[in-house]
Structure 1
């Protein structure tokens, strides 16, 4: 395949978002410092990112034509088969971009290795261009990663690179019927998290941290063992399940492997399914809706070093 254009995907820095909110940098600074915050931290973060982005664009322009788009436009951007996608930002930006990448090679770049863990970001500003050159010569290594899929009984569907949330859009309890491995329960909970292997170190890990933290009050010196999922596994966990006369709690977690999880909404309104922490990317999940959760046919193509 002949690649002709690189698409750089970035997100706004926290400072840019503050300036949008308060109109000027001076007003944003006044607001943060009046509340006792350290505005310098926002400035340093922004400066490092801008330096990294400029370096990336300069290096890339010597190798291939390119243009930069903001994350908010990714869902409506039509990627071409002749595009390489370069993501520069935090891990979540890779997840948000991958869903729309149509399996094009994604080179994920960590712009600030002192600030971001970069679990999904194998490259940095010093070595990413080698990844680009490898893709251009079709000599690159990549990891094919699977998406989770939520499919509704009306045909709508939503993909997730890291995780799906199924529940209520506010902090009220979610009410639904859950069917897994031929067993059915009615639930009242804070919603369900469904995680892919890529997302196991994200939102799902916080659920393990909470569960072990509570258990450790009564059983000392527990060691947290985070799940190691196979490529086409999904792990679901019910958040704060409540047991009552009408609701059960025996199905509180499970691995979806060559099967599916079915959830029927009992919420007259405010039911929702969203993916990868982006609440604007959602499906309504109200009474009458039935969601089937499983592995999607689509995949993401993440370039490796």
Structure 2
């Protein structure tokens, strides 16, 4: 098959659990020894578990040893073998169409994609979300390396069917689903996109302090930070906030029917909520949740002397500093992710 001269296929990969263990302990043998010793210590400590609890714990470990996600070394190795085989097959097949480049997740923030590139993601759902922020308006083919292990909500393809999608993407005849993204824009010109959600707050458990302006109202707040969610992310981190509200309502006899609004992935609106707002003489809790529509913005001024941050999609290592005096405008991003379907 004739190769296309322009552009390339960028294959984005993630570290497996086994690779992360190897980095932490230098060798797999040392990692295996440490994990086993920890489990032996749990069994040996007389005051930590009762005799009955120890028996149940041991029986559960033995029964689940062969299960997917068992946190046994054998399962880590199976995951590694499957991932390596999938990645190698994807590389070999993709090379028949265009030049390829394999990109580690850590290099995504600094990598410059070409508009003529095609992206193939091999990994979990979170890798798709993280990649989409940087591969702006570029087709993304997301492959689930182990459908029996990963839910794959954002991973419609497998080794069995991705090649047809790639062929269509190369010829420009692919179909795709547009996904609306959020954007945080600082007054100094820095910006950050989010596929699922933005977090605005402090990089620790202490209270975030800021001034918020929404819908013509402004107030000072002290809270556990804010979450701004896209349609794609509404069933993720944002759903945990609604679960909390539902549980509290149920405990005190109120209606537990509190659910996250169903938002299409391409909807031109964002949903925000303030986590645990604290009302005091200097902080209000009137602006707690709402929608940011197209053409609207949520304006936040930091009142945090240090450790204020804005990060997206749970990636805390890629963040914007948001300390006292910084102003952020939160709204819909002009770019949308293109997930090939």
Q: Tell me the residue number matched to 1:249.
A: 285
Q: SS in structure 2 opposite 1:198?
A: coil
Q: Tell me the residue number matched to 2:327.
A: 290
Instruction: Please say if 1:278 is aligned against 2:309.
Output: no
Q: CA deviation at 1:137?
A: 2.4
Matches within 5 A, 1:158-197: 158-197=192-231
CA distance in 2, matches of 1:93, 1:217: 37
- Counterparts in 2 of 1:248 and 1:80: CA distance versus 1, 3 Å: same
Does structure 1 retain, via aligned residues, the 8 Å contact 2:249–2:255?
no
Which protein is bigger by CA-based radius of gyration?
Answer: 2
Q: Tell me the residue number matched to 1:32.
A: 35
Q: SS in structure 1 opposite 2:188?
A: coil
Q: SS in structure 1 opposite 2:137?
A: coil
Gap regions ≥5 residues in structure 2: 40-70
In the TM superposition, what whole-angstrom CA distance separates every residue of 1:64-85 from its partner, at most 9, and x where no partner exists? Answer: 3322111111222222233110
Q: CA deviation at 1:179?
A: 0.9
- Counterparts in 2 of 1:51 and 1:213: CA distance versus 1, 3 Å: farther
Q: SS in structure 1 opposite 2:301?
A: strand
CA distance in 2, matches of 1:48, 1:72: 22
Return the match for 1:203 from 223, 227, 237.
Answer: 237
Q: CA deviation at 1:195?
A: 0.6
Matches within 5 A, 1:205-284: 205-219=239-253, 222-223=256-257, 225-229=259-263, 231-258=267-294, 259-284=296-321
Q: CA deviation at 1:3?
A: 5.5
Q: SS in structure 2 opposite 1:115?
A: coil
CA distance in 1, matches of 2:287, 2:304: 19
Does structure 2 retain, via aligned residues, the 8 Å contact 1:167–1:272?
yes
Instruction: Please say if 1:119 is aligned against 2:122.
Output: no
CA distance in 1, matches of 2:36, 2:74: 10
Q: RMSD of the TM alignment (CA)?
A: 1.9
Instruction: Please say if 1:43 is aligned against 2:46.
Output: no
- Counterparts in 2 of 1:217 and 1:48: CA distance versus 1, 3 Å: farther
Q: SS in structure 1 opposite 2:179?
A: strand
Q: CA deviation at 1:242?
A: 1.1
- Counterparts in 2 of 1:155 and 1:67: CA distance versus 1, 3 Å: closer
Q: CA deviation at 1:60?
A: 2.3
What's the TM-score, normalizing by structure 1? 0.94
Q: CA deviation at 1:302?
A: 1.2
In the TM superposition, what whole-angstrom CA distance separates every residue of 1:118-171 from its partner, at most 9, and x where no partner exists? Answer: 111121221111110111222211112222111112222111111110001111
Q: CA deviation at 1:303?
A: 0.7
Gap regions ≥5 residues in structure 1: none
Does structure 2 retain, via aligned residues, the 8 Å contact 1:3–1:136?
no
Q: Which moved more, 1:45-54 or 1:131-140?
A: 45-54
CA distance in 1, matches of 2:223, 2:5: 50
Matches within 5 A, 1:87-98: 87-98=121-132
Return the match for 1:141 from 175, 187, 191.
Answer: 175
Q: SS in structure 2 opposite 1:40?
A: helix
In the TM superposition, what whole-angstrom CA distance separates every residue of 1:7-61 from its partner, at most 9, and x where no partner exists? Answer: 1000100110110111001011111222226323322222222222122223323
Q: Which moved more, 1:13-22 or 1:114-123?
A: 114-123
- Counterparts in 2 of 1:229 and 1:41: CA distance versus 1, 3 Å: same
Q: CA deviation at 1:220?
A: 7.8
CA distance in 2, matches of 1:34, 1:291: 48
Q: CA deviation at 1:191?
A: 0.2
How many residues are aligned here? 304
